[in-house]
Amino acid sequence: MLPDFPELKALRHKVVMAAAYRRALSRDPIVSQLQSYEIVEGDDFEIRTLDGFVGGGYEKFESSFEVNAEQLAKMTDDAWTEKLALELFGPLINEQHKLLLQRVSEAAEWSGNITNARGPLSGDTLLTMLRMTEISFGEDGRPEWPTLVVPEGTDLSKLKEIEGDPAFAAEEESILAVKYTDWRIRQSNRTLVD
C-alpha cells in the first residue's frame, strides 16, 4: 500500500479552492468589490441604516459539481482551478450578484432614491442621480465616485459628450461643492473611538 499524505492533500485542496474562488470572483465587476466578513455564530442578522431602513437575513446559495477520478487524474492544477471557478463558484457568485442588485433596489425604492431615465442617458439624468447620491471625498478633496449600475445594453457612448458639455460641467461643480460641504459636516460629526 502506498503512503497517504493527508496534511499535504488538505493544504493543496485549500490552495486550489481559494484560487478558484478568486478566479471566479474576478469575473464579476460588482461582487468582486465587496468586502466580506466570516460570521461563525448565529443564523440571522439585521442591518439598520441611519435613515431607518432595516434589512438582513441570510440567503442560501447552492451549486453542484461533479468530477470522476479518471478526469481528476488527467487534470492540471490550472485546469482543475478553472473547472471549479466555472462550475462551482461561478453560479454562486452569479446568485450573490443577483441578490445584491435586488437588495440595492429594495433599499433604493424604500428611500425614494430612484431615477428612471425613461430613455437614453442624458446630462439631466446624471445630474439628478448626482444630487441624490451621498459622496465621500479623499484627503486631497477629490470625490470618491460611487459605482454607477446601469441596465445591460445601456448606450454609454454619449457619456463623454455629456461630460464635455460646459453647462453640465458647471452644474456638476456646483453640486459637488454642496456635496463637499455635506461631507465635511458628516466628518466633523463622527465619533472617534480609541
User: Is residue 95 a contact partner of residue 61, using CB atoms and an 8 Å limit?
Assistant: yes
Helix (H, G, I), strand (E, B) or coil at 143: strand
- What pLDDT is recorded for position 1? 64
Task: Pick the closest to residue 77 from 8, 17, 5 (CA basis).
Answer: 17
Give CA–CA dist 175/147, Å, rounded.
Answer: 18
Q: Residue ranges per domain, the chain?
A: 6-111, 123-188
Which residues are registered as beta bridge partners of 47? 55
Give the pLDDT confidence of 120-171 residue by residue, as tens digits: 788 888 898 899 888 999 989 899 988 777 777 777 888 888 889 999 999 9
d(CA 189, CA 186): 5
pTM: 0.64
Convert the pLDDT of each residue in 66-108 to its tens digit.
888 888 788 888 888 898 899 999 999 999 899 888 888 887 7
Which cell numbers hold the place of 168?
Answer: 453640465
Sign of CA dihedral 104, 110, 113, 117: positive
